[in-house]
Structure 1
Amino acid sequence: MNYVLFFISFLIFFSTVIAHEKLDSQPLPRPLILEYPEKVELGSKQVNEELQLKCSSWRIAGEANNLSPWKTIPSECADYVKNYMVGRAYIVDLEMVAKEAEDYAKRVELGGDGKDVWVFDVDETLLSNLPYYADHGYGLEIFDHSQFDKWVEKAMAPAIASSLKLYEELLGLGFKVFLLTGRRESHREITIENLRNAGFRDWDKLILRYGSKAVVFYDWR
């Protein structure tokens, strides 16, 4: 039906053009096309809004894994990233993901054979390293593994509240929980301490990295 309507509309338009040509031999007026000036002087508010848009696009592209490898956030986006991380938006995003995962888990029919396993990452999934990144420019500094290891060894990373709620819900549903982390095997005990201090209990297995780089380790697993 849409194709028929389109064809009829086209015929009406075409007939109108032909009739116009018969009545007036002059060529049709140049169609109106919106043209933007090559350069626009922006006020401070407009500049700020433009920066917000660019930084928002950068963040979304990063979340979608559509960015080339990067080591630091764009310097002009420092305030944007900070405001996102410490504001309500980041919490809402975390809550949304946890709620979707919980809804999915409730629809799964467990086999009852002990083989129904839910796998969690640790950093930025169960535990938040936001206090560490707050001390290092929220991503403005190049990631320093030795400095991060010192943070890990403090066992002070807080729980992500929505993830802790999801974790407890999954245990209640009967899932076994495996924890997979890029942390080194030498950090096993301190990681267990941190997880317990943050409220996580009763996981079945904690798998840490041994030897290989974290990215290679995750790919292999």
Structure 2
Amino acid sequence: MARHRGGGDLVHLLLMLLLAAALLLAPAAAETEAEVAPTAPAQGASEEPEAAAAQQQLLPRPLVIELPSAAASELGGGDGSGDEFPPEVRCASWRLAAEANNLEPWGAVPAECAAHVRDYVTGTAYRSDLELVARESAAYARAAPLGGDGRDAWVFDVDETLLSNLPYYADHGYGLELFDHHKFDEWVERGEAPAIPSSLKLYKEVRELGFKIFLLTGRSEGHQAVTVDNLKKQGFHDWDKLILRAAADRKKTATTYKSEKRKEMEAEGYRILGNSGDQWSDLLGSSMSARSFKLPNPMYYIP
């Protein structure tokens, strides 16, 4: 009797194990069937494959980062010649190098950059750059510690600093043509150069703050009368001295000529706290000011 009951228990145990195994295998089989059999779309849902794929959201797409070296190689090999960059980028780099005084002395705007320079000086970017220089200059002037003895001076260049010659350069390729002294002198004699608005505002504020104002220009003394008239018509008044190139200064570089004139100011007891010019030769050399402010000018270079 005992042996019979033991055999029944064993059979019962085997049946229970088979049932448990069947229950465990059922989800896997159903999952496999789901993968094989297509799922019917819900009523009203889009049946397009792209929409179905978007709903599944199985895995994120891999992130691909394009390195600069790869982009440069696609553009042209990146051999350092600059040819791998489009002309607009090369010309923007050329203009930056010109403003930073990183170029060799140059006589005219590169032919491929003529349109770039034209668009710059006739567009909003040039006006914005001029206004930024004027704002920074005014902020410095307001904070400068004046001596109170009437000996604190600010030096201004004239052409492309106070007066604009853009009407002249519009007829001469915005710097594409080599500079012609005779043609430019004819333009100066017309006395029609307009004021640079941001510079006029700065000029008036510097004067009201109590600075002595010296206008130091490369124009010749023969243009004194027309220059005075042009400046006054455009709103520039009450400067302390207008200095023009004498016959003895004609063979000097602008850097030498202007350095000598600033040295004379210092010899007279003036402290040059500010200096505004569009050329590095307006600002560099000797007897430099405490702060110098370079206005943009990609149209010509004066050593």
TM-score (norm 2): 0.57
Cα 1:174/1:146, change in 2 over 3 Å: same
Secondary structure of the residue aligned to 1:153 is helix
* Alpha-carbon distance in structure 2 between the residues aligned to 1:219 and 1:168: 25
Change (3 A) 1:39 1:128: closer
Task: Identify the residue that residue 139 of structure 1 maps to in structure 2.
Answer: 175
Q: Distance in 2 between matches of 1:188 and 1:166?
A: 23
Other-structure match for 2:91: 55
User: Which residue does the alignment assign to 1:92?
Assistant: 128
User: Which residue number in structure 2 is paired with residue 162 of structure 1?
Assistant: 198
Structure 2 unaligned residues grouped into runs of 5+: 1-68, 78-82, 262-303
Residue 27 (structure 1) aligns with: none
Aligned counterpart in structure 1 of residue 166 of structure 2, from 105, 110, 130: 130
Write the mapping of 1:97-136 to structure 2, written as runs, cut at 5 A.
97-136=133-172
Worse-superposed segment, 80-89 or 169-178? 169-178
- TM-score when normalising by structure 1: 0.78
Distance 2:76 2:97 in 1: 26
Q: Which residue of 1 aligns with 2:260?
A: 220
Q: Distance in 1 between matches of 2:74 and 2:197?
A: 48
- 1:153 paired with 2:193, answer no
Moved over 2 A (4+): 34-41, 218-221
CA–CA distance in structure 2, aligned partners of residues 39 and 124 of structure 1: 37
Distance 1:217 1:101 in 2: 24
**Partner deviation per Cα, 1:46-99 (whole Å, 9 max, x = no partner):** x9x711110001001001111111111010111100000000000000000000
Question: In the aligned structure 2, how far is the partner of 1:83 from the partner of 1:52?
Answer: 11
- The alignment covers a number of residue pairs equal to 184
Q: Look up the equivalent residue of 1:207 and give its one-letter code.
A: I
Q: Within 1, Cα distance between the matches of 2:160 and 2:114?
A: 19
Q: 1:66 aligns with which of 102, 106, 119?
A: 102
Separation in 2, partners of 1:148, 1:186: 14
* Residues 38 and 168 (structure 1), Cα distance of their counterparts in 2 relative to 1, 3 Å cut: closer
User: What's the CA shift string for 1:157-206, capped at 9, x where partnerless?
Assistant: 00000000000111111111110000001111110000001110000100
